[in-house]
Amino acid sequence: MRVLLVEDEARVASFIAKGLEDSGYVTEVALDGRSALARLREEPVDLVLLDVGLPDIDGFQVLAEFRKVNQTTPVIMLTARGDVPSRVRGLDLGADDYLPKPFDFEELLARIRAQLRHVRQAQASVLQVGDVTLDLKTRQVTRGERRVDLTTREFALLEFLMRHAGQVLTRSQILNGVWGYGFDPQSNVVDVYVGYLRGKLDRPGEESLIETVRGGGYRLRVPLSSAAEPSSGAKS
């Protein structure tokens, strides 16, 4: 797996890059935003680690430009700006995760693994999180042994949540991912359809599979005992 690290502090970049290389990731370093964008135009990478505070254009600008041409490569933002508005801005611009500095390196590795799992999910025909299975070919959903009948929009919403299982998704991200950018951003349609899904997926008395995150949005819970990776239809 090839990782591009965008970090202007050479000492910090060297430390992170060495740790990534020791963990089996082929790692390249860009020390500013423009060289990062130039590198990303040359050859695809599997994941981008992007600092916000860069000397030329900031990480938010880099992210916005990158997302114009690439919507799928995971981007994890690394920054000392841990305030909520900065996190929301990064996520709304298309970041997949946001890790404030200073951070534990093992946590960074775990977040990288999670994002790469999401990439594999995007290529799967069957998604599975816990006891919920979604088959993209047959359009069938089951929870445990129980079949769950969903409308087309409910199915699309569940698919989007499962592809980002364990990740906090803002209402704007969900709205754009499921309904499209032309939909009214003030609409409460996301909350309404989350309610529909909860009514069909959850059993009476159980904690909801879809968690409401105050000030953030929604998150599909990943059971601790579950391997959140999906199967791909062809089992090995």
Residue where the block lists tokens 């199915």: 155
Please check whether residue 236 lies inside any domain of the structure. no
Per-residue pLDDT of the chain (236 residues; tens, 9 = 90+): 899 999 999 999 999 999 999 999 999 999 999 999 999 988 888 999 999 999 999 999 999 999 888 878 899 999 887 678 888 888 889 999 989 888 899 999 999 998 988 777 666 688 888 899 999 889 999 998 899 999 999 999 999 999 888 888 888 888 888 887 566 767 889 999 999 999 999 988 778 999 999 887 999 988 764 443 444 443 33
Domain limits at 152?
124-220
Q: Where are the beta strands (DSSP E) in the chain?
A: 2-6, 26-30, 47-51, 75-79, 97-100, 126-129, 132-135, 140-143, 146-148, 210-213, 217-220
Same structural domain for residues 103 and 147? no
Same structural domain for residues 8 and 76? yes
Select from 63, 44, 62, 65 the least CA-distant residue to 2. 44
pTM over 0.75: no
Q: What's 64's domain CATH number?
A: 3.40.50.2300
**What is the rounded CA–CA span in Å between residue 2 and residue 163?**
21
**What is the rounded CA–CA span in Å between residue 58 and residue 80?**
13
CB 79 within 8 A of CB 59: yes
Please check whether residue 226 lies inside any domain of the structure. no
Same structural domain for residues 160 and 77? no
Same structural domain for residues 116 and 141? no
Count: domains in the chain: 2
Domain boundary pick from 104, 120, 136: 120
Which of helix, strand or coil describes residue 83?
A: coil
Same structural domain for residues 112 and 131? no
